[in-house]
Structure 1
Amino acid sequence: MSTAERRKGERVIFERGIAAHMMGIDGTWRRECKMEDVSETGAKLTVEGSVEGLHLKEFFLLLSLTGLAYRRCELSWVNGDQIGITFLKPGDKKKGAKRAAAQS
């Protein structure tokens, strides 16, 4: 299955990329990045500097300098300085636990 087939939703591609920042959930790290494309469910980023050693399981993508526009994300894939991310919806992880409790 190709990457395009796995994607859900239409992608918007930015010719020059949109400046953004990635930040650890706990605030201990921050990296500049460019958002190359975006959909309802995720995005492709080009990261400034190395992502090696960063806790990328969950992090914030900051879309404004004030930090008021952001998305909670998780890493999907890495290819050199580009990464694919999936946007997490509020309560995503809790839904599975509630469903499991309801079934028991």
Structure 2
Amino acid sequence: MKNPTIEKETRMYLFDLTNTALENGFKADDSWELVLGTEAQKTKIQKDYYPAVTAKIFGEIALPVYYTIKSRLHQPLNTIEQGLDVKTVLKDHLNYVIAYNPKRQRR
């Protein structure tokens, strides 16, 4: 059985991504770059890119939520992401799922 909390967080985040893309006129070739990061990374990405969609995900569900979002966006995991575990996520304070479009830098 799927974890309802993971499913809920995933659905809410994907809903926000879809709405933000529509509100900002994303074209078919526009895509989201997804990061599981710290508060400092979130702040830097929000400063450098617009729009950026962030969500704070707590504790042990951060990694499964991130993996589920990546999967639903049909984005493969890179080598670093494949090596992550819950212990590392908690130790390194990787509490934020952050999405941004690399083609949309702030000027």
Q: Give the structure with higher Rg (CA).
A: 1
Higher helix share: 2
What TM-score do you get using the length of structure 1 for normalisation? Answer: 0.28
Larger RCO: 1 or 2 (CA < 8 Å, sep 6+): 2
Q: Which has the higher strand share?
A: 1
Normalised by the size of structure 2, how large is the TM-score? 0.28
